[in-house]
Amino acid sequence: MSRLPKYIEADDVKRILKMTDLIPIIEKAMGDFSKGEDGGVVQPVRSIIPVEKHGGFFGAMPAYSENDAALATKLVTFYPKNAGTGLPTHMAAIILFEPSTGELKSILDGEVITSMRTAAASAVATKYLASENSKILCILGSGEQARSHYKSLHHICNFEEVRVWSPTLKNAQAFSSQLKSKVCETAEEAVRGADVIVTATFAKQPIVEWEWVKPGAHINAVGAVNIKWQELSSELMQKSVVHVDSREAAMKESGDVIISKAEIFAEIGDLVNGTKEAQREKTTVFKSLGIAIEDAVSAKLVYDKHMENQ
């Protein structure tokens, strides 16, 4: 047998990975992660190094799930300045190992997995925290995450209206021409009256204010993964019931949490495990940072399905 690892390309990942399969797997991984040692997950907060000269960042994200027999590390770069150049702003590879022997199994494209597993994590949060009667979805941003969230959140709610706002109007229009939605001229117009809000931007300063948000709405805040950046105003963070994927990561990486000094009520995994009660009727925030265990279990899923068809 060849010992050369298989490389699984983006197109294959896209073909193999289905949101309907991914959402329950991410839900279980978030639950296992929040059980601590009992969940069989080992995952430090990622290491991120700035590549200051070029305005980029490089991250290493190792994780092991004993329950899912998934051992992997993602290597990811994010370069906000790539926007508009034809190169993606996020690029990644996931390196998957066999936990019983330590053997290298595969290297997978990490861009599609990053996009889909982040949106799946927000879908899990939305399942527990959004009003069951949610009809209006607001998406701020029109890039990769905006698109994947549009798709994943339709698995959770029956939206009657989707609104999109993005600073570059033509990008919002392109989004809207591909994914049925209404373009808004301002973030405020998009946010007011929405039941579920997604912020998936490279904003460094808040783009959503407390007074715009409908009481009881749920917000998935996906961007601002930097201690100095915020997507949500401090008032909005302080007055909402705040959830995260990882408390440890939020305290180390999230400007929205650190600058506002908002209290973190729960990890989403605590809701999955039933150790904290979901407060659906309150205004809720899921501050997503992205955790490595999500990549590891997604990569294992893709690899197993890929090998079934060999």
Ligand X SMILES: NC(=O)C1=CN([C@@H]2O[C@H](COP(=O)(O)OP(=O)(O)OC[C@H]3O[C@@H](n4cnc5c(N)ncnc54)[C@H](OP(=O)(O)O)[C@@H]3O)[C@@H](O)[C@H]2O)C=CC1
* Integer Cα distance of 122 and 116 in angstroms: 10
**Nearest to ligand LZCNNONV of 78, 150 (CB atom):** 78
The owner of tokens 């305290």 is 251
Contact 157, 130 (CB under 8 A): yes
| Residue 167 binding target from ligand LZCNNONV, ligand X, none, CB below 5 to 8 Å by type | ligand X
- Interaction of residue 181 with ligand X, rule CB under 6 A: no
Here's the x/- map for ligand LZCNNONV, 234-273, by CB under 6 A: it reads as ----------------------------------------
**Nearest to ligand LZCNNONV of 109, 195 (CB atom):** 109
- Interaction of residue 110 with ligand X, rule CB under 6 A: no
- Interaction of residue 295 with ligand X, rule CB under 6 A: no
Contacts of 129 (CB under 8 A, 6+ apart): 218, 243, 271, 278, 279, 280, 284, 286
| Residue 76 binding target from ligand X, ligand LZCNNONV, none, CB below 5 to 8 Å by type | ligand LZCNNONV
Stretch that binds ligand X, among 32-40, 83-91, 100-108, 154-162 (CB under 6 A): 83-91
- Interaction of residue 298 with ligand X, rule CB under 6 A: no
Please give the distance of CA 237 from its chain centroid, rounded to a whole number: 18
Instruction: Report the residue number whose CB is nearest to ligand X.
Output: 143
Residue 24 CB, shortest distance to ligand X, in Å, is 18
Which one of residues 122, 202, 290, 296 is an interface residue with ligand LZCNNONV (CB under 6 A)? Answer: 290
Give the pair of three-digit tokens for residue 273: 């495990």
Residue 130 CB, shortest distance to ligand X, in Å, is 18
Stretch that binds ligand X, among 67-75, 96-104, 202-210, 297-305 (CB under 6 A): 202-210
Which one of residues 123, 187, 203, 225 is an interface residue with ligand LZCNNONV (CB under 6 A)? Answer: 225
Provide the residue type at 113 as one letter. I
**Nearest to ligand LZCNNONV of 153, 225 (CB atom):** 225
Which one of residues 10, 83, 87, 307 is an interface residue with ligand X (CB under 6 A)? Answer: 83
Note the residues at the interface with ligand LZCNNONV (CB under 6 A).
Answer: 76, 78, 90, 114, 225, 290
Note the residues at the interface with ligand X (CB under 6 A).
Answer: 78, 83, 89-90, 114, 118, 141-146, 166-168, 171, 200-203, 207, 222-223, 225, 288-290
